[in-house]
A = this chain, B = another copy of it.
Amino acid sequence: MATKEFKVNVERVHIEGSDPSIRVPFNKLTLTNNETILLSTTEGETRENLKLPKIRENWNKDENRGYKTQLEAAKKGIITKEMEYVAIRESFKYGDDMHFTPEFVRKEIAEGRAVIPSNVNHTELEPMIIGKKFSVKVNANIGASSLSSSIEEEVEKLKLSLKYGADTVMDLSTGVDNLTEIRESILKASPVPIGTVPIYETLDRAKGDPGAITWDLFKQVIIDQAKLGVDYFTIHAGLLKELLPHAANRLLGIVSRGGSVMASMMMRSDEENLAYTHFDELMEICKEYDVALSLGDGLRPGAICDACDEAQYGELRAIGELSKRCFENGVQCFIEGPGHVPLDKVFENQDLEDEICNEAPFYTLGPLVTDIAPGYDHITSAIGASNIAWRGTSMLCYVTPAEHLALPTANDVKVGLITYKIAAHAADVAKGFHNARERDNALSKARAEFRWYDQFALSLDPENAYKVWRAQMPEDCNHEPSFCSMCGPRFCPIRLNRRLQAKYLNNVKTSS
């Protein structure tokens, strides 16, 4: 007899805000016992398929709206549509009993503790918020290179990232001729914020020669990308010239690609970092389009023995100054963090960032807690990532199993993302985020009641969970059996629990 087919019973629902254009999508999962649970999602292209207008099509039409950026609006006491949207998205509801009210969101942004990356020209964006009071977010990196550069391929990578829950995506494309075309296609297809590292395109335009990079060239790239709709820029403006001797003293020097381009320019010209010296102009451009600045850690440690040294912390202090200037100028910003850091120094990194950068959102790569496991650095870094997020980091940049060895394959992207959704969720649970435990409890209840298919449906990778379980179950099993291959049918602890409850609890029925 054939096995019952496994299918997740999910439908798309929306929660509307104060205006019909504020319509936040969720996935509503219906379990076999008819209980339901809402899960976060984005919908992206389905709006196009349904011939709906782009979500932010008309949100920013008003020239007299009185603010350029979300931060400026927040400071003026204005609650934007973006703020209301993320309030619903984080609360899973709208109305008086929201966990996060739009006013709370406004306040967090006004104090610089949260950011909504949302370029006014990225009208396809479904707004999301990055900040320590909200759920922990995950970024995935994609990007064409001279080795592979088709538009279709990059849009596929984007969709794969969205399927496995990426909250933002960085497009690190470099070395390709059709860069603008690729980036535009990614932006149009993306309901999540898109980040870039503009110095990459600048180096391309300078034909790979850092010595040929001028401020005018860099500025033009930034303007072009801002006009295109990029939601946040990683700029390594805190990597000051005086820090280079400290970097030289390290075992692994500079491992950030953008950081090393900046260093190369300074070494050639013997002048200060041009992103630092032209920071006012840079902020002006970002403000015009509401591009958030991701203040890059060009000196992030690439080995645990380089962690927490004067190069890293010196740069963090410089970034702290820049973050204050962003805040004063109404430019949204967040702070990039390491890297390779031993477990006993992870909290110190978050605490120092809080202190130096006035609690601006921290966005870290891992950190990786050991150097000895290339091929498994999604795991070495998830250990650091869950810890630092528990301590307050707002967004985690994923690391794939290919890190240090190769460019990630599609499967690497999937494994990296699921690993980081675990790290982010573990932190949400530990922080007591309002509804984080709901999914854990629903899954464990399904486990207690032998609702196998519900366990799979509630898991981060339903197809894989089903496949592993199915492979060891008897061929002729066409129902959901009350055992698994771990203990076999004979003596199962979970089955015993029914008798345990029947004996000690009055309100529970026995079912055998």
Contacts and interface: CB of A to CB of B under 8 A. Distances in A.
A212 interface: no
Interface string A456-486: 1011110011001101100000000000111
Interface SS majority for chain A: helix
A422 B252 contact: no
A370 B248 contact: no
A426 B425 CA distance: 21
A499 interface: yes
A374 interface: yes
B402 A497 contact: no
Given A146-B488, A376-B422, A406 B472 contact: yes
A75 interface: no
A210 to B, nearest CB: 8
A1 interface: no
Contacts of A497: 247-248, 252-254, 260
B373 A260 contact: no
A31 interface: no
- Which of A304, A305, A406 is packed against the most chain B CB atoms within 10 Å? A406
Contacts of A322: none
A469 B406 contact: yes
Interface residues of A, number: 105
Interface in A344-368: 344
Given A379-B422, A422-B379, A374 B459 contact: yes
Interface in A325-358: 340, 342-344
A412 to B, nearest CB: 9
Interface string A389-424: 010000000000110111100000000001100110
A69 interface: no
- Shortest 7 CB-CB distances between A and B: which pairs? A253-B497, A303-B444, A260-B493, A248-B504, A343-B430, A344-B430, A369-B426
